[in-house]
Amino acid sequence: MPLINNIKAVNQALDVAMERNKNVVTYGEDVGFEGGVFRATEGLQQKYGVHRSFNAPISENLFVGAAIGMAINGLTPVVELQFEGLGRSALQNITTHLGKMRNRTRGKYTCPMVIRTPMGGGISALEHHSESFEALYAHTAGLVVIIPSTPYDTKGLLLAAIDSPDPVIFLEPTKLYRAFKQEVPEGYYTVPIGVGYKIQEGNDLTIVTYGAPTVDCQKALELLKETHPEVTVDLIDLRTINPWDREMVFESVRKTGRLLIVNEAVKSFGVASEIIASVNENCFDYLKAPLTRCTGYDVNIPFVQGERWFNINPHKILDKIHEVLEY
């Protein structure tokens, strides 16, 4: 199997999907000839033509709304927003129509479409280019929200998203686009939506994460092993935020009695808060320590050099691990 990075995994998934299904189209700002700002769609217009891979005007709400119409009428659009922060311009259509169409029409119309967008910090970009507001999408009934971290999962989950009868928000951690490579099968395969992945097994602590912090958590656990080799940790990559793998998390917490959630979004009213509330409701009698978060701060993400103070890193995670273990 070839070694590829996350951006190539996205490109391969789109290529496979478009080859398998002539109703799949992909478009967005600079998606066609240029191949997108990160080159995720590079070569697709040349291979499939301007009617299936094309540029959209600089109006996110307009071209997301157009995709809803396409999906209702039999196409499977895969729309690219250049950055997650720009998705706010499309929230009217995403939250008012996309997530509600099946319920509104009592199942007569569905919207099988995918909205792809880079998310998160790590590349010293402007605030709207570095945000993580996945909780906003997850808070909207009717939307599936996926955040992969590895090339294998990126390709398999994107293909699963394109096959899904539900509208999917597919968030791609910008920091991980070209961070590392992994062996990925050529051709078609899927990774199941709503199923987490346990990266490693342990008995003393459960760490739940997703997206870019997955890599930082692995590095933090390498540091922990140097000083506390006797400590073992369950590390879970959720992969899907809505629906999230509740049973995998609950089973792990009932075993370890301790939980640390790591995400790069701001602390308040986020995914970590939801997981903590759910674990408290379902696993309270098993807990040995307070449920803990390692997240971004409740501020706008700082620009360029200030970003390093905001972002999650292995040492911040390690400090939180010690805090939970020493309680």
Structural contact between residues 149 and 284, judged by C-beta atoms closer than 8 angstroms: no
Tokens 């080159």 sit on residue: 39
Distance of alpha carbon 165 from alpha carbon 132, whole angstroms: 25
Distance of alpha carbon 106 from alpha carbon 85, whole angstroms: 32
HSE-up (13 A, CA, CB side) for residue 24: 21
For the question of residue 129 being annotated catalytic, the response is yes
Backbone angles phi, psi at 205, to 5 degrees: -160, 145
Structural contact between residues 300 and 240, judged by C-beta atoms closer than 8 angstroms: no
Q: b or e along 274-293 (b: 16 or more beta carbons within 10 Å of the residue's beta carbon)?
A: bbbeebeeebeeebebebbb
Residues 6+ apart with CB under 8 A from 124: 303, 304, 305, 307
Catalytic residue among 51, 129, 139, 228: 129
Query: Which residue numbers are catalytic?
Result: 129
